[in-house]
Amino acid sequence: MNLKIKNFSKINGTVKAPSSKSYSHRAVILASLSEGKSKLFDVLYSEDVLSTIRACEALGARIDKKKEIILKGDKSQTVDYLEVYGTGGKLHNVSDDPSSDMIDLANSGTTLRIMTSVAALSDNEVIFTGDDSLKTRPMGALIDALETLGVKIESLNENNKAPLKIYPGYEGGQTDILGSISSQFISSILISAPLSENGVELEVYPEFVSKPYVDMTISILEKFGISVEEEEYQFHETCKKEHTDCLGVKFIVKPQKYIASDYIVEGDFSSASYLLAATAIAGGYIRVQNLFADSKQGDKLILDILEEMGANVTVFDDYVSLRSDGNLKGIDVNLSNAPDLLLTVAVLGALAEGKTTISGVKHGRLKETDRIDTTCRELEKLGCKLEEFEDGMTIYGNTISDGIVESHGDHRLAMAFSLIGLKHDVEVENGECFDVSFPNFIEAMAEIGIDLELK
């Protein structure tokens, strides 16, 4: 189905940001590893998070949607939440034939990366597979790091990609991993490490991209009773301390137990970026609730980017407001700690005056698609002048025209490119994939005056 902006009026309104996909994944997994019952509020029921829920259920957690009536003065409010009875870290693949039955994770790379480590805690074999896109995701760096910790993983196609068969056993010890590939590999080890036999010392070097995602992981680990120590170390012992190129980060996780917790999932800055960007492009006013000033999300950088491009952004404790006259200017921005903003910023740059240079996103080539390549190719379909680099691109603004682009099954491309329809007649083929991370994208856009259609 094609996604297209049908029409829009003056942009104005208040909308609640969708819950964070990253925090939703982590909350479900940590609650599933805990002893006792957790209540998770404002979980995002996107396709990716549903994959995580199914994987945790397959390994023994009991997960149900519930409702609770909360009294506030004379008024009552019904609140939905996810009730999770955890395994206490004692995982078991409930399949009748765990040595051959596969757990299908669909398109969720986050689920695959985090649950690959967690599955080693099961007392029997676990096999993860997924759709064609998921089977292209490189997993070799994580497999190598886990094997050093006594985890046996078999790539059934012998290419270090899914399907992956994980055998029981997780000794722990010391291992290292490159920080320039995927922060999810690091989060995966940190989440599983407390339940290993001996704990884990994980050394990350040299360049550490997307570190805010690891900071997010550590913050939610604390909510479920897990402590992580972090310190700098020199991975070249002969180098002097001031030689910062040889400084890495060491995480120390001792054996610990997860404690059940009631947890509220905060709003997602990457998903909210489409609402904010739409207002910045078309002009108008928006207030986005459930975005917190003290959030550890790296994608909070979108606020600084929009401000620099010409929008007026105001940050409050639990919401953000933006006002724009629709006139934006190009900027230079490094997105190494916020790679999920690549598509949003590229579209903003294409509709701004002057040129926009995006750098630091080489790891964006390892996402649902090679996002640097697909972004450039789809912008070129619209006539956009640009230059592509290994770690980013330069986009020359206001050089695009009407046309049709392809989503490549990438939810972020579908949502970001649909925004071009605020200035040009553009539609996105196979645009329905936005439900991977933002199931109510069309409804949220309607709340601020933008009428999107799937046809």
- Is 99 marked as a binding-site residue? no
Q: What is the rounded radius of gyration, in angstroms, for the C-alpha atoms of the chain?
A: 22
DSSP single-letter state for residue 19: B
- Is 137 marked as a binding-site residue? yes
Give dist(CA 60, CA 119) in Å, integer: 11
Count CA atoms within 13 Å of residue 82 on its CB side: 28
For residue 385, give every residue at least 6 positions away whose Cβ sits within 8 Å of its Cβ, in sequence order, or none: 395, 396, 399
Q: Tell me, what amino acid is at 334?
A: N
- Is 227 marked as a binding-site residue? no
- Is 321 marked as a binding-site residue? no
- Is 210 marked as a binding-site residue? yes
- Is 22 marked as a binding-site residue? yes
- Is 90 marked as a binding-site residue? no
Q: How many CB atoms lie within 10 A of CB 31?
A: 29
Give dist(CA 18, CA 401) in Å, integer: 31
Instruction: At 371, give phi and psi (nearest 5°).
Output: -70, -25
**Residue with the two structure tokens 């998770």:** 40
Sign of CA dihedral 393, 304, 405, 423: negative
Instruction: Let me know: does 231 contact 62? Beta carbons within 8 Å.
Output: no
**3-state secondary structure (DSSP) of residue 294:** coil
For residue 304, give every residue at least 6 positions away whose Cβ sits within 8 Å of its Cβ, in sequence order, or none: none
Instruction: Let me know: does 306 contact 313? Beta carbons within 8 Å.
Output: yes
Strand partners, 403: 426
- The length of the chain is 455
For residue 243, give every residue at least 6 positions away whose Cβ sits within 8 Å of its Cβ, in sequence order, or none: 236
- Is 355 marked as a binding-site residue? no
**Please, is 100 exposed, middle or buried when counting C-beta atoms within 10 Å of its C-beta (0-12, 13-18, 19+)?**
exposed
User: Between β-strands 403-406 and 392-396, what pairing exists: parallel, antiparallel or unpaired?
Assistant: unpaired
- Is 161 marked as a binding-site residue? no
- Is 261 marked as a binding-site residue? no
- Is 325 marked as a binding-site residue? no
Q: Provide the edge-to-edge strand list for the sheet that holds 229-234.
A: 173-178, 200-205, 247-253, 229-234
Give dist(CA 240, CA 41) in Å, integer: 48
C-alpha 194: how far from its chain's center?
23
Give the residue numbers annotated as catalytic, written as ranges: 340
Give dist(CA 101, CA 116) in Å, integer: 16
Three-state secondary structure readout of 28-45: HHHHHHCECEEEEECCCC
Give the residue numbers of the binding site for 3-phosphoshikimate: 21-22, 26, 182-184, 210, 340, 367
Give the residue numbers of the binding site for phosphoenolpyruvate: 21, 109, 137, 184, 371, 412
Give the residue numbers of the binding site: 21-22, 26, 109, 137, 182-184, 210, 340, 367, 371, 412
